Amino acid sequence: MKIAFSKAAAPSGVALIVPAFEDGDPTDAHAALNAATSGALAKAIKAAKFSGKKGQALELVGLHGAESTRIVMVGAGKRADLTAIEAENVGGAGIAPILRTQEKAAAFLLGGFSTDKVRAGETAARIAFGARLRSYRFDKYRTKLEKDQKPALEKLSIVTPAADAKTKFADLDKIADGVFLTRDLVSEPPNVLYPASFATRCRALEALGVKVTVLGAKEMQKLGMGMLLGVGQGSARESKLVAMEWMGGKKGEAPVAFVGKGVCFDTGGISLKPGPGMEDMKWDMGGAGAVAGAMAALAGRKAKANVVGVIGLVENMPDGAAQRPSDIVKSMSGQTVEILNTDAEGRLVLGDAIWWTQEKYKPKTVIDLATLTGAIVIALAHEYAGIFSQDDKLVAQIEDAAKSSGDPVWRMPLAKAHYDNIKSDVADMKNIGPREGGSSSAAAFIGRFVKDGQSWAHIDIAGMAWNAKDKPTCPKGGAGYGVRLLDQFIRANYE
């Protein structure tokens, strides 16, 4: 779908999308369209009891006097409540009905749709961004789609008097590219996306100026990554570690590091998961997918910051060579770990990846993302990712980025008691603690591989990587969570 901005009237014969506030007078665009239809639009709105409530959509077809055969009115809620994120939701909610039709062109009419808090250019750019995010499809393996099931929309016009809308949208468009990359990675089946093929996808970022380094099993063995390699030793596919460097800031300045869990498929290993729902474990690499997407977004918009993305890529399979409960492995840090449950594998991958990242890059701060625990879903449902850190300043920065980006987080506890929960009788630590506070114990395990004085936060995205139903700016499926959060974190604090 191509998005264009225009100050002129909407092209004739295209589907029209008109946002409306719940309170106050109709926008200029709304009033003009009503006049063009000799009041028929207002009558149809009244008959349908459309009030402009947030998320409400009214689709009108064949309205008398309208040049367009299809008009979508989309509710924006109260004018005072409009934010940049809500404008994105308006864009997604407005385009959704059009995407279900065979319309090839559509236009948002935005004359007068803005507030003192969110000016016209920003509003238009955010609406375009939301519409683009909502337009995502993952149909590459569907060979029997009927014609009316295939996406038809080719062009979306954003009709706005704001001269700066196109410029403001340029960066957002690159962020959308990163979100789409993450959604693609999360959606791929595990026979297509595995450590080596994931690494190849990351290599494609070199076209954006990202330096990509891939370590194989032999290199990691020499480095002593016994935890990461232990997770993958039951798989026929070789484990990989991928580092992506974007050095857009001051030369020689220490980078910010993002580290992602990339378990391309998780059976649970010898501690085998139940069969029902195991198919969802294709997206247990959601943290790594978010890091790759964030690097694509940062490089795409030429961020003026030094950032590295490191992802540990493995498959957790129950082969005869797989590690077993009660095995003891040695990490790159030299610490030993008693494996009590092979399904607590992501923290093992992250521990070695984070230690290597600190040794290699000496980063200013480290943020890791992982679909780590089911416990975080019990605590926060599918509404928030859990953030764990003892660095209050870093937590505040991430929380601010979450509010601005639309990727929500909620701070969870991480205290000495959680570190005590993973003490082992036979090794330096064990890879699971008690069931109670499982997400915090998992975070504490990762924290054992963070060096003294290193700024660090862990974000558990287990409830956020996949959407079970459509959302305003994301269809059902891979959510692309984390890309916008990390991009905004860099934008606000390092550019």
DSSP one-letter string for 258-273: EEEEEEEEE--TTSPP
Q: Which residue has the tokens 């993305």?
A: 309
**Residue 199 and residue 79 share a domain:** no
**Residue 417 and residue 313 share a domain:** yes
Question: What does the CA dihedral 444, 450, 455, 458 come to, rounded to 10 degrees?
Answer: -40
Nearest to 414 by CA among 375, 385, 446, 373: 446
Query: Do residues 80 and 21 make contact, with C-beta atoms less than 8 angstroms apart?
Result: no
**Residue 23 and residue 122 share a domain:** yes
**Residue 220 and residue 154 share a domain:** no
Last residue in a domain, options 161, 196, 216: 161
- In terms of DSSP H, where are the helices of 135-250? 165-187, 195-203, 217-223, 226-232
347 is catalytic: yes
What's residue 68's pLDDT?
82
Residue 127 lies in a domain: yes
User: pLDDT tens digits, the chain, 495 residues: what are they?
Assistant: 999 999 887 778 899 999 999 997 899 999 999 998 999 999 999 999 999 999 899 999 988 777 788 999 999 999 999 999 999 999 999 999 999 999 999 999 999 999 989 999 999 999 999 999 999 999 999 998 888 888 899 999 999 999 999 999 999 999 999 999 999 999 999 999 999 999 999 999 999 999 999 999 999 999 999 999 999 999 999 999 999 999 999 999 999 999 999 999 999 999 999 999 999 999 999 999 999 999 999 999 999 999 999 999 999 999 999 999 999 999 999 999 999 999 999 999 999 999 999 999 999 999 999 999 999 999 999 999 999 999 999 999 999 999 999 999 999 999 999 999 999 999 999 999 999 999 999 999 999 999 999 999 999 999 999 999 999 999 999 999 999 999 999 999 999
Domain that holds residue 116: 2-161
Query: Do residues 17 and 24 make contact, with C-beta atoms less than 8 angstroms apart?
Result: no
> How many domains does the structure of the chain reveal?
2
Q: Which uninterrupted H or E stretch holds 6?
A: strand 2-6
β partners of residue 311: 242, 260
**Residue 226 and residue 332 share a domain:** yes
Phi then psi dihedrals of residue 419, to 5 deg = -70, -40
**Residue 186 and residue 88 share a domain:** no
Distance CA 49, CA 398 (A): 41
Q: Which residue has the tokens 């393996």?
A: 141
Nearest to 399 by CA among 347, 455, 309, 459: 459
What's residue 250's pLDDT?
97
Query: Do residues 245 and 224 make contact, with C-beta atoms less than 8 angstroms apart?
Result: no
* Catalytic residue of the set 132, 261, 347, 484: 347
What's residue 10's pLDDT?
76
Last residue in a domain, options 129, 161, 193: 161
Looking at residue 7, the DSSP 8-state letter turns out to be S
Instruction: Report angle CA 286, 123, 16 to the nearest 5 degrees.
Output: 95
* Catalytic residue of the set 273, 360, 411, 471: 273
What's residue 8's pLDDT?
81
**Residue 225 and residue 82 share a domain:** no
435 is catalytic: no
**Residue 459 and residue 334 share a domain:** yes
**Residue 232 and residue 133 share a domain:** no
What's residue 66's pLDDT?
79
